[in-house]
Structure 1
Amino acid sequence: MKTKIFKVEHAEFKRKLLEASIKKHQSVIDDLQNSIKELLGNEEIINEDESDMSLQGFKTEQIQKANLIGNQVSFANDEMTLLNNMLPGIEDIHDEVILGSVVVTDKMNFFVSASIEQFEVEGIKIFGLSTESPLFQEMKGKRKGDKFSFKDQEYKILDLF
């Protein structure tokens, strides 16, 4: 995918980007929580006949799945806290890649924040990138015009704000 330098007001775009990130991330959290409710909602059926060993095994499996999803919810909630904590300084413009940066490369566009699947703001496709990700580690501290490599791909930073 080829990208180009955005013709947007940077500070305002970053604010809209963070708002969209929070909304998208909340949707992920809601979906995870609904999955837990669906898994544990079957508990009423299971409680009718606890003596059936296959039902007990099913209940244990459902609880284990719910616990795994619960761990994902916990992680997602931590990332949501990070996103909300970014609000006060989101309109700051950066000259090197750090938390809160928008990084426009020749291949794709990144918002250094939390792990968020591709989404669009003002028709521009963006990937949310966690500071814990290996890709961020490669671009961390880079400036406009710099290059970095990740998984046999070379990226050039066309714009940064």
Structure 2
Amino acid sequence: MNVTTELAGAARHAHKIMKGIVVSAGRMDKTVKVKLGGLRWEEKVQKYFKQPRCELVHDPRNSLRQGDVVSITSSWRVSKDVRYVVQDIIAPFGDPIDERPPIPTLEERIQERSAKREIKVQRRDLTRSVNRELLRSEKLALQVNMALRPIQKALKTESSQAT
């Protein structure tokens, strides 16, 4: 797939940008837990109550620390539960942003993904060609065995008649 096509597709599927606080970082590789704000309307008392929710977010270069305020956006699914990616760090907590690995842009993430996909396609093609050659050699060995059967039978009958 072309990088520009993937970029257009990703831009089309990019929904709203959400802001949250990193609650847990460093326990999972390339994944952090972000707490997003939310409100719930309680009909009985006619009042809004805080109801935050947590999302697992993809952090491609492990550059987030617990306590960072970040903006996240939806992305392609990375795993079963990870559907968001870090867009940028709004307010760092602890280490300054300069000392951390940079957060990749959408174009960089798409290029990395397409390069990874290309390696996978090459590996699959190589495996298929090896399996194809193996199947051909097995068929050839079977044909040789079929061609040698009459000769082996003739040799067995000659040896049994000689005794």
TM-score, normalization by structure 1: 0.28
Q: Which of these two proteins has the greater Rg computed from alpha carbons? A: 2
Q: Which has the higher contact order (CA 8 A, sep 6+)?
A: 1
Which of the two has greater helix per residue?
1
Which of the two has greater strand per residue?
2
